[in-house]
Structures are given as structure tokens and as C-alpha cells.
Amino acid sequence: MKVTQHIANAKGKSLFSFEILPPLKGQNIQCIFDNIEPLMEFKPPFIDVTYHREEYEYKELPNGLLEKKIVKKRPGTVGICSAIQNKYQVDAIPHILCGGFNREDTENFLIDMDFLGIDNVVALRGDAVKSEIYFKPEKEGNQYASELVTQINNLNNG
């Protein structure tokens, strides 16, 4: 169900929802469930799940040169959303960012969400990576969240 429908169905009553972060790499889904479980008594109509883009780490090689390595410290947004929807029958809403995605990556992400029955997203520009002073989009990516929203709407409209 769309977030706007949840709000309309509330008929002026307050709704409680919350946002979770994917666990650090190496942890499992049970740590998410352990944190969600006590909050389910509030009957959230939806739970949103953050997305964290890759970071760059530099490792010095024996010859003194630096090797750039791409690291995702909090992967799993898509899988967590699917697990939440299946376990709790609550809409899970993934964040989707401009940063770290080109337009084709965005389209593929949205197709995956559709296959999983996820029909809401939180569209954000995202922050600059730590090595950047200002946000720089991926090549052929969206610069602003408004461009991302336009792309999402265009895909929804065929």
C-alpha cells in the first residue's frame, strides 16, 4: 500500500513508523528482527530502511603506491525490506539515492523492488563521499533528488 494511502486511512489519527539502518557487514538479519520486535506493538504501517553508499578506502602497497578499494559497510537494504515485509506483513520502504547509482542502476533497483512487491521508496540525493567536498553524481546519474523523482515517475508511467 502506498504511504499516502496509509495516511488517508488513518483519518487524522497519529501513525507511528520508524527507520532502521542495515547492520554492519558481518551481522545478520536476526539483529534487525531483535530491534524491530519490541516496536511492532505500535503497529507501524510502514518501516523505512536506509541505504548507505559505498565508501573508498586506500591501502598502501609495498611499492608505496595507494590502492583504492570500494567498500560497502552496510549492505542489505533490499534483502532487509523483503524480510520485513514477509515476516511482519508491514510495508518496507527502501531509500534510493542519487549517489552511487547511475540512471540504469536506478532502473534496475526499482525493477527489483517491483518484483519483491515493494511499491514505495524514499528518494534522496545522498551525501558526498568522505573524499569529496561537494556531492558529485555518478556518470549518467541524477544530480538532484528531483531528477531521481522524475526518473521514478517516468518509469511508473511506462
Tell me the C-alpha to C-alpha distance, in Å, between residue 36 and each of 6, 111, 155: 20, 26, 32
Q: Where are the chain's structural domains?
A: 20-152
% of the chain beyond a pLDDT of 70:
100
- pLDDT tens, 90-133? 999 999 999 999 999 999 999 999 999 999 999 999 998 887 88
**Location of C-alpha cell 545522498:** 126
pLDDT score of 19: 97
**Cβ proximity of 58 and 70 under 8 Å:** no
**Cβ proximity of 49 and 80 under 8 Å:** yes
**Can you read off the three cell numbers belonging to residue 81?**
525490506
Residue 140 confidence class, pLDDT cut points 50, 70, 90: very high
What gap in Å lies between CA 52 and CA 74, rounded to an integer? 6
DSSP state of 42: G
Alpha helices in the chain (DSSP H): 3-10, 29-36, 77-88, 103-115, 145-156
Type and span of the H or E element at 49: strand 46-49
Q: Name the pTM for this structure.
A: 0.88
Q: 20-152 sits in which CATH class?
A: alpha beta
pLDDT at 144 over 90: yes
Q: Which residue has the higher pLDDT, 49 or 71?
A: 49
Strand pairing report for 122-124 and 55-60: unpaired
What gap in Å lies between CA 13 and CA 113, rounded to an integer? 29
> Measured in whole angstroms, how far is the alpha carbon of residue 100 from the centre of its chain?
11
